[in-house]
Copies of this chain bind each other. A is one copy, B any other.
Amino acid sequence: MESKRRKGILERLNAGEVVVGDGGYVLQLERRGYVKAGHWTPEAAVEHPEAVRQLHREFLRAGANVLQTFTFYCSEDKLEISGNVTSITGAQINEAACDLAREVANEGDALVAGCVSKTPCYVKSRNETEVKAIFKKQMDDFLKKDIDFFIVEFVDHVEEAVWAVEVLKTSGKTVGATLCISPQGDMQGVPPGECAVRLVKAGADIVGINCHLDPLTCVRTVKLMKEGLEKAGLKAHLMIQPLGFHTPECNFGGYTSLPEYPFALETRAMTRWDIHKYAREAYNAGIRYIGGCCGFEPYHIRAIAEELSAERASLPPASEKHGLWGAALEMHTKPWVRARARREYWENLLPASGRPKCPSMATPADDYEKQLASKILT
């Protein structure tokens, strides 16, 4: 089988390669008309495979070395609660999603990661057996298909992530685990360094951060994880898949606490130049699996690949349609636009919002913090 001949994720990371991750599916497919905000469930894998396939393809073309299965929130308990998906089973979605990712990955040199995310069951029950049963069921769906490794993502209690890792490791496959937490730690106040230690001890081969906060904040959190591992004498690869939005105000709660979430985040979107800076920072921090989450569109992934093209000794296919640092503007009909065909211009530009009645920063809801505070006390 085609994918067998590919280098595995650990083989790549152990060799010091930079692995470019893919971007965010749910927000982008919401904008394209296939995902329902509020529910955020991935039934499009069954209902509209062409839309999911096309987005996979765009990320691949932008340079992604890994395609994550579009299986976000696809545990049976979550689907049931959400109520958005009634005539399709979770197993059907999981299996369709694996096929879609595999099909597109095989068009290039990419790997497929089967993804599980946090379950409503955990918060409700805190029951290890129940939660693990849910992860096991989803894992079994994946194992019927041809996936390369697993990623646990978007979990904000390290305990739940540890349980997921423990289940997935029973498959014998490589497991990566990313928490959606801030530098302050997980939802119970466990600091990032300690979170990383617990995940690695549970068997995670790659650890890091995804979603909830902006790229530079997430780099800081991964650094704290790295320091925690070093202090504990442990080793693991590091990965990062942050938001594609500026969220300087956020603390624990991340971007769901912002007034703009989820339908007015446009002004916070990263430019491709913001991503160049992020990719360099992540690389300098020692992170070698570098991708994105909500808000990362294909051109953001391409910007990672372009910033690290020397380190990766290649440019992605989509760079055929992109002059590095704006070089293709040399062709523009207007002389003042041609003058923008250079790195210094874009690197130093502070983009105006065109919204003179809008502020720069918002007051995030602090319900999350309050919730957290009361949880720590109890």
Contacts and interface: CB of A to CB of B under 8 A. Distances in A.
Q: Secondary structure at chain A's binding surface: helix, strand, loop or mixed?
A: loop
A351 B260 contact: yes
Interface residues of A, number: 87
Interface in A359-378: 359-363, 365, 367-368
B54 A323 contact: no
A152 B351 CA distance: 32
Interface stretch (A169-177, A222-230, A325-333): A325-333
B359 A37 contact: no
A176 to B, nearest CB: 24
A84 interface: yes
A367 B322 contact: no
B329 A37 contact: yes
Interface in A20-76: 30-39, 50-51, 54, 57-58, 61-62
A266 B270 contact: yes
A313 interface: no
A353 B33 contact: no
Interface in A262-316: 262-273, 297-299, 302
Contacts of A260: 349, 351-352
Contact of A266 (B247, B271, B320): B271
Given A246-B354, A332-B38, A31 B263 contact: no
B84 A331 contact: yes
Given A38-B328, A58-B51, A256-B337, A360 B367 contact: no
Contacts of A54: 50-51, 54
28 contacts: A32-B298, A32-B299, A33-B58, A33-B298, A33-B302, A33-B317, A37-B322, A38-B329, A50-B54, A51-B54, A246-B355, A260-B349, A260-B352, A263-B272, A263-B273, A263-B326, A264-B271, A264-B351, A267-B267, A267-B268, A267-B354, A268-B352, A334-B367, A352-B357, A352-B359, A357-B362, A357-B363, A358-B359
